[in-house]
Each structure stands twice: as structure tokens, then as C-alpha cells.
Copies of this chain bind each other. A is one copy, B any other.
Amino acid sequence: MNTKELTKELMEKISSNYYKDMKLPTEDMLMEEYGVTRYRVRKAIQNLVDIGSIYLVQGSGMYIKESHKDSIILSNTQGLVTDFPERKVESKLLNLEIQEADNSLAQEFKCKKSTPIYLLTRLRYLDGEPFSIEYSKYNKEIIPYLNKEIIESSVFNYVREDLGLTIGFADKVISSNKINKEQAHLLGLEENDPGLFINDTVYLANGSIFNISMVLYNYKRATLFDVANLK
């Protein structure tokens, strides 16, 4: 059993209320139960801390938190499909075009002027209801091909699994603003209603920027979750 499988196994036990006392077994007990090394147990525990499933109390143990499973986990989001494994995520492609980078796009992507950039807009549904609008830009020199099928499932999974690229990290700027008439129409809201916005700049592990996007979330349906370490 590797770290990922162990993390998944523990997540499932936590979410099914397997641990009635809201406490995880000790490291030693987990090592024995799953026949894995201390290193793997610690990695899996760190994953659970990062997504806010458990918290550690020195000298006392590992405690299970109230569930935040209806929120988007900010600090290590893998995309909507992995955020909500038990819910129906659908995407509708609204626009797809290619544009040569002007000065401003070239500066954003730290790429050469005239580099081809994919521009796409997706409307995303959660359990059949409009959940978010994504305005995404991809550097075509890094992601050479995109089509409707890829876009309507998960672009990030395609980048990882089919292109074999390693995604590194994303800078996220979160804000709130009024939504316009078109956005309101798509989300089933009113013009000037609040919108919850995330501007993402996504880097590959080699440091190049392959994706810049703005996601507008339906304020009635989306919440974001994060754990801040204050020590």
C-alpha cells in the first residue's frame, strides 16, 4: 500500500464515521494495521492535516475535525472532479479560440510575444446546477492540443496523465466583486449579485507558467476551505 492509497483508505474511514471517538489510531497502530513504513504513515497523516481532516495535539493524538467536504479545498485543489468525488461534475464548453500573445499576455505568461495561447470558457455544473464559470488561458507551446472532449472532462488530468507533465503549484488570488448580466444569466443569478473569484496562475514543476485562469463561483453554492498554520 503506497502513501496515496493509505491516505484514501483513511479518508474513507473518516468520512464514514468509522472512528467513533473522533480520534485516529497511533502511528504504531497504523503501521501494523496496514503493514507500511513509519515514513508512509507520516506522509499520509500530513496529507490529512493539509486538507483539514484531522489535527495533531502534541502528546495526545490525532483528532478528527468536523467535515468540510462540501467546500473546495484551497491549498491543494486538484480540480473540481477530485474535490467532489461523490458528486456529479459536468462542464459545458462556451468558447474555445487561439490567440497570439500580445505584450500583456506575453508578460503574464513570461513567454515570447506571438506565442499561441488557448482561450477557453467553461460553465461547470455540480449535481446538475450551475456552479462556476472558468475563463482559462493555456500556453499552446506547453499544452499543444486541446479539444471539446478534454475540456469537458478535466484538463488537469489530461496534462498529468496524457502529456506526462508535472504540475507544480498555483498562486491564487481570491476576491469578491459584482457579477455582470451575462454571468448572472449563466449562473441563474441577478446582475450585480456577489461573485466569489479566484485568479490562478499555475506553474509546472520546471517553473514555467502553463495556465492562467479566473474562476467565478456561484456565491450561493461555493465555499472555499483552508487550514492556516499559525505557529
- Please give the residue numbers on chain A whose beta carbons come within 8 Å of chain B beta carbons, in ascending order: 52, 55, 57-58, 60, 63, 65, 68, 71, 74-78, 156, 166-178, 192-196, 202-203, 205-207, 217, 219, 222-231
Q: List 30 A-B contacts (CB under 8 A).
A: A52-B171, A55-B168, A55-B203, A58-B205, A58-B206, A60-B206, A60-B207, A63-B207, A68-B171, A74-B228, A75-B75, A75-B226, A76-B229, A77-B230, A78-B230, A169-B227, A169-B228, A170-B228, A172-B226, A174-B174, A174-B196, A174-B223, A175-B219, A175-B223, A176-B219, A177-B194, A177-B219, A194-B194, A194-B195, A196-B196
Contact A75 B229 (CB under 8 A): yes
> Which residues of the other chain, B, contact A196 by a CB distance below 8 angstroms?
174-176, 196
Contact A176 B194 (CB under 8 A): yes
Contact A71 B173 (CB under 8 A): yes
Copies of the polypeptide in the assembly:
2
> Which residues of the other chain, B, contact A227 by a CB distance below 8 angstroms?
75, 169-172
